[in-house]
């Protein structure tokens, strides 16, 4: 989002996130919805919340996304921005899903060297924590860890610094894309469905 905002031909009008309705959390990342709302507020953008059921089928997911895309098109949206870095199959999937909708896909970070990018965003003031990880790829001890130089230096050589292969997921609480930092605190860590999740809560002000 920060990179795209600096491009003259882009006007970002909203954020879109898939939320697992019964849990009130961002799907896959496990981030609480109140943290998500705080992110949207700090970014100065409205949030399009695409709700899906738990154990969502691909058919139900596609239906939910189709409704969101139809509404976006009616509101004049021409493109969707994605943060994908180098996975060709993921890019092809997104482009296929948007085909025929009248909305194109744009990838502002595509093919950026990930080791360089990871350190660039940290140097720019990004603050994030690991909220979900695959223990088969990285140590469970990294759950809840800040996304910082210490984390990058401790990653196995085969792990992508930006976790593009799904090694871990993060939640951002500060950075140049926000008007102000979001106060958060690292809470409980649990293992579920073969993954390790760390809860990130809004801190009391």
DSSP string, 89-139: HHHHHHHHHHTTTT-EEE-TTTT--HHHHHHHHHHTT-EEEEEEE-TTTS-
The answer, yes or no, to whether residue 143 has pLDDT greater than 70, is yes
How many domains, in total, are found in the chain?
A: 1
Q: How far is CA 203 from CA 19, 66, 158, 170, 197, in A?
A: 21, 35, 34, 17, 18
Tens digit of each residue's pLDDT (9 = 90 or more) over 17-28: 999 988 888 987
Is pLDDT above 90 for 43? yes
- List, for residues 170-204, the tens digit of each pLDDT value: 999 999 999 999 999 999 999 988 999 999 999 97
Task: Give yes or no for residue 205 having a pLDDT over 70.
Answer: no
Residue 27's pLDDT is 82
Q: What is the pLDDT of residue 157?
A: 94
Domain encompassing residue 116: 2-202
Whole-number Å distance between alpha carbons of 79 and 88: 19
pTM recorded for the entire structure: 0.92
Average pLDDT over residues 115-127: 97
**Residues 103-116, mean pLDDT to the nearest whole number:** 97
Decide if pLDDT at 101 tops 90: yes
Residue 48: pLDDT band with limits 50, 70, 90: very high
Instruction: Name the percent of the chain lying above pLDDT 70.
Output: 100
């Amino acid at each position: 989002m920060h990179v795209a905002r600096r491009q003259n031909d882009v006007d970002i009008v909203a954020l879109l996130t898939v939320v697992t309705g019964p849990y009130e959390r961002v799907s896959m990342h496990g981030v609480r919805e109140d943290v998500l709302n705080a992110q949207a507020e700090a970014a100065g953008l409205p949030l399009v919340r695409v709700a899906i059921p738990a154990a969502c089928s691909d058919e139900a997911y596609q239906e939910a996304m189709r409704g969101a895309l139809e509404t976006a098109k009616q509101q004049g949206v021409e493109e969707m921005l994605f943060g994908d870095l180098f996975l060709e199959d993921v890019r092809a999937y997104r482009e296929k899903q948007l085909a025929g909708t009248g909305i194109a896909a744009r990838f502002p970070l595509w093919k950026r060297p990930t080791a360089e990018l990871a350190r660039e965003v940290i140097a720019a003031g990004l603050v994030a924590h690991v909220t979900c990880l695959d223990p088969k790829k990285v140590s469970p001890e990294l759950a809840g860890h800040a996304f910082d130089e210490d984390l990058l230096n401790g990653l196995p050589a085969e792990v992508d610094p930006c976790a593009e292969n799904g090694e871990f997921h993060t939640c951002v609480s500060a950075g140049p894309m926000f008007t102000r930092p979001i106060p958060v605190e690292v809470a409980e860590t649990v293992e579920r469905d073969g993954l390790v999740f760390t809860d990130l809560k809004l801190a009391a002000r």
